[in-house]
Amino acid sequence: MTTLRSINPTTGQQIAVYPALSLAESGYIIQATHHAFLEWRRTDFSARSNLLRGAAMVLRQKQTEYARLMAREMGKPVAQGRAEIEKCAWACEYYAEHGPRFLASKPVATDASRSFVTFQPLGVVLAVMPWNFPFWQVFRFAAPNLMAGNSAVLKHASNVSQCALAIEKVFRQAGFPESLFRTLLIGADQVPAVLSNPLVKAVTLTGSTPAGKAIAAQAGSLLKKSVLELGGSDPYVVLADADLEETVNTCVAARLINTGQSCIAAKRFIVVNSVRSNFEELFVRKMRDRSMGDPLEEGIDLGPLARHDLRDELHRQVQLSLEAKGRLLLGGAIPVGPGAFYPPTVLTDVKKGSPAFDEELFGPVAAIVPVKDEAEAIQAANDSNFGLGAAVFTRDTVRGERIAAEEIEAGCCFVNTFVKSDPRLPFGGIKESGYGRELAVFGLREFVNIKTIYVK
Ligand code: NAP
């Protein structure tokens, strides 16, 4: 039988163990969630908005408690955890405020006496979620879906079961119907059985590209709608006319957020040769200055990675990138002592064919890719299987906007700042970074039946 274990990555100590639910137990929960949907779909928008505002209140009341839980279960520094909880509250409020307008029927002029488009919920949506933003990933899917009238079952990553259970309680404490949002404590091996349950109407997965391919294949064979938010290797293009000090500050922050474990963390720094040595010098200095330690302590920039096996895999990718003729400018050694720590690391002269260029490095490791000019920078930025986020740095914002809008192959491209998700803006990728969108009106429309009504 699968067992789910929470292991504190700072100490290596086990803090909780949960036996996975049996298939029958998962089936009962899905049935209850389906029944909850049948009533929920008939509630009016204002009732749903009020409950979402209640969820935001519960989140804020328990902000520190949840931040400490994330620190213990996956190593997130507490200040970043508090910010994550605040963002979840914001998403709930955003959909509480704008959901009714997004969901209102839209009249269309035709030769009918009346014709309109209405947005009807689908039913139980399965969410398969990762550990890196244990609350945010779930709320950015749950808030629009509950607003739209769906119900949900969450299969969270196996190492953050305590967060998964805490999230279920947020909705209960806010007053949502008991079974509208349920956590299934199951391993990845049980996802196919859950997805094939006829009461589950759609699936959203945030996670790695291999997991996305597995879900997409099964969802395709069942003809169930899927949204996939997968990995990335975001390029940050630094042009000769960039404000270097400001750019480096942004690049360091963008690489180290969440100890480097973010799908939209900056991963490849594509720097034109004329500013390359200044960039490297400043970048290394600022990466070195970041503090690493117990994520429960205030003022710490980097915690441990979420699991020891992930740290070992990251180190293997660094080693292979060095063997592929990358040069080490900083870090690159596993520290002595307990905990899944990995230091800020900088590689340069990184080229295609090495893991630091081709794969996703999920930790505080920066890959600098020197290039001749703008054209070569765009080519290197796009020379990736991923297409999640990207950024361009230049004092010429017209040039930056053109490159961002017309040249870069990604779901979003920011100019002179780092990529972040925002409830007001659509979020998602292209290529092996997935498909579909979360957030804004686009996220809310993914799991509804966009239904045409035509009255003669
Ligand atoms: P992961 O190993 O793919 O796991 C993500 C979730 O999928 C977990 O709940 C996992 O369950 C489950 N899972 C894994 N393999 C599966 C399979 N074959 N079938 C069904 N479910 C499966 O990813 P992770 O290591 O937790 O998260 C890091 C990855 O997520 C990175 O690649 C990152 O870029 C990506 N990510 C993307 C976004 C985005 O918005 N695009 C946001 C955050 C993270 P178990 O834990 O039980 O294995």
Q: Is 88 in contact with 136 (CB distance < 8 Å)? A: yes
**Separation CA 423–CA 99 (nearest Å):** 12
What is the chain's percent helix, strand, coil content, to nearest 5? 45, 20, 35
In 207-290, at which residue ranges do the beta strands (DSSP E only) sit? 225-229, 234-238, 266-272
Q: Which atom from ligand 1 is nearest to the alpha carbon of 427?
A: 40
Q: Is 92 in contact with 143 (CB distance < 8 Å)? A: yes
Q: 356: closest CA among 310, 308, 323?
A: 323
Q: Which atom from ligand 1 is nearest to the alpha carbon of 229?
A: 41
Of all protein residues, whose CA lies closest to atom 35 belonging to ligand 1? Answer: 207
**Separation CA 339–CA 304 (nearest Å):** 6
Catalytic residue IDs: 229, 263
**Separation CA 341–CA 222 (nearest Å):** 41
The residues of the chain scoring below 70 in pLDDT are: none
Q: How far is the centre of ligand 1, averaged over its atoms, from the C-alpha of 363 (Å)? A: 15
Enclosing H/E stretch for 367:
strand 365-371
Q: Is 448 in contact with 119 (CB distance < 8 Å)? A: yes
**Separation CA 133–CA 111 (nearest Å):** 49
Q: Is the dihedral of CA 431, 433, 435, 439 positive or negative?
A: negative
Q: How far is the centre of ligand 1, averaged over its atoms, from the C-alpha of 227 (Å)? A: 13
Of all protein residues, whose CA lies closest to atom 28 belonging to ligand 1? Answer: 207
> What pLDDT shows up at residue 38?
98
Of all protein residues, whose CA lies closest to atom 21 belonging to ligand 1? Answer: 188
Of all protein residues, whose CA lies closest to atom 17 belonging to ligand 1? Answer: 211
Q: How far is the centre of ligand 1, averaged over its atoms, from the C-alpha of 134 (Å)? A: 11
**Mean model confidence pLDDT for the chain:** 98
106-107 and 114-121 as β-strands: parallel, antiparallel, unpaired? antiparallel
End-to-end CA distance of the chain: 58
According to DSSP, the residues that pair with 154 across neighbouring strands are 127, 183
140, 195, 196, 208, best to mutate for ligand 1 pocket (most atoms within 8 Å of CB): 208
Q: How far is the centre of ligand 1, averaged over its atoms, from the C-alpha of 172 (Å)? A: 26
Q: Is 296 in contact with 262 (CB distance < 8 Å)? A: no
**Separation CA 98–CA 87 (nearest Å):** 16
Q: Which residue has the tokens 């204002």?
A: 46
> What pLDDT shows up at residue 167?
98
**Separation CA 324–CA 352 (nearest Å):** 9
The token duo for 191 is 């996802």
Q: Which atom from ligand 1 is nearest to the alpha carbon of 388?
A: 41
Q: How far is the centre of ligand 1, averaged over its atoms, from the C-alpha of 132 (Å)? A: 9
Q: 210: closest CA among 183, 236, 188, 237?
A: 188
73, 74, 128, 307, best to mutate for ligand 1 pocket (most atoms within 8 Å of CB): 128
Q: 361: closest CA among 213, 248, 249, 259?
A: 259
Q: How far is the centre of ligand 1, averaged over its atoms, from the C-alpha of 214 (Å)? A: 11
DSSP calls for 17-68: EEEPPPHHHHHHHHHHHHHHHHHHTTS-HHHHHHHHHHHHHHHHHTHHHHHH
Count of H helices and E strands in the chain?
15, 20
Q: How far is the centre of ligand 1, averaged over its atoms, from the C-alpha of 114 (Å)? A: 45
Q: How far is the centre of ligand 1, averaged over its atoms, from the C-alpha of 130 (Å)? A: 5
3, 206, 264, best to mutate for ligand 1 pocket (most atoms within 8 Å of CB): 206
> What pLDDT shows up at residue 325?
96
**Separation CA 224–CA 192 (nearest Å):** 12
Q: Which atom from ligand 1 is nearest to the alpha carbon of 207?
A: 30
**Separation CA 143–CA 140 (nearest Å):** 6
Q: Is 432 in contact with 95 (CB distance < 8 Å)? A: no
Residues contacting ligand 1 via CB (< 6 Å): 128-132, 137, 155-158, 187-188, 191, 206-208, 211, 214-215, 229-232, 263, 360, 362, 388, 429, 433-434
The token duo for 441 is 């009106």
DSSP letter assigned to residue 22: P
DSSP letter assigned to residue 427: B
Q: How far is CA 210 from CA 28, 206, 229, 409, in A?
A: 29, 11, 12, 21
Q: Is 145 in contact with 157 (CB distance < 8 Å)? A: no
User: With 0-12 CB in 10 A as exposed, 13-18 as middle and 19+ as buried, what is 383?
Assistant: middle
Which residues, at least 6 apart from 144, have a Cβ–Cβ distance to it below 8 Å?
Answer: 95, 99, 438, 439, 443, 444
Of all protein residues, whose CA lies closest to atom 37 belonging to ligand 1? Answer: 230
Q: Which atom from ligand 1 is nearest to the alpha carbon of 360?
A: 32
Q: Is 412 in contact with 211 (CB distance < 8 Å)? A: no
Q: Which atom from ligand 1 is nearest to the alpha carbon of 434?
A: 41
Q: Is 207 in contact with 216 (CB distance < 8 Å)? A: no
Instruction: Identify the structural domains of the chain with CATH numbers, from first to last.
Output: 3-230+433-455 (3.40.605.10), 234-422 (3.40.309.10)
> What pLDDT shows up at residue 1?
73
The per-residue pLDDT for range 91-139, each reduced to its tens digit, is 999 999 999 999 999 999 999 999 999 999 999 999 999 999 999 999 9
200, 234, 263, 358, best to mutate for ligand 1 pocket (most atoms within 8 Å of CB): 263
**Separation CA 398–CA 404 (nearest Å):** 10
Work out the number of other CB atoms within 10 angstroms of the CB of residue 305. Answer: 26
Torsion angle of C-alpha atoms 429, 432, 435, 439, degrees rounded to 10 = -30
pTM of the model as a whole: 0.97
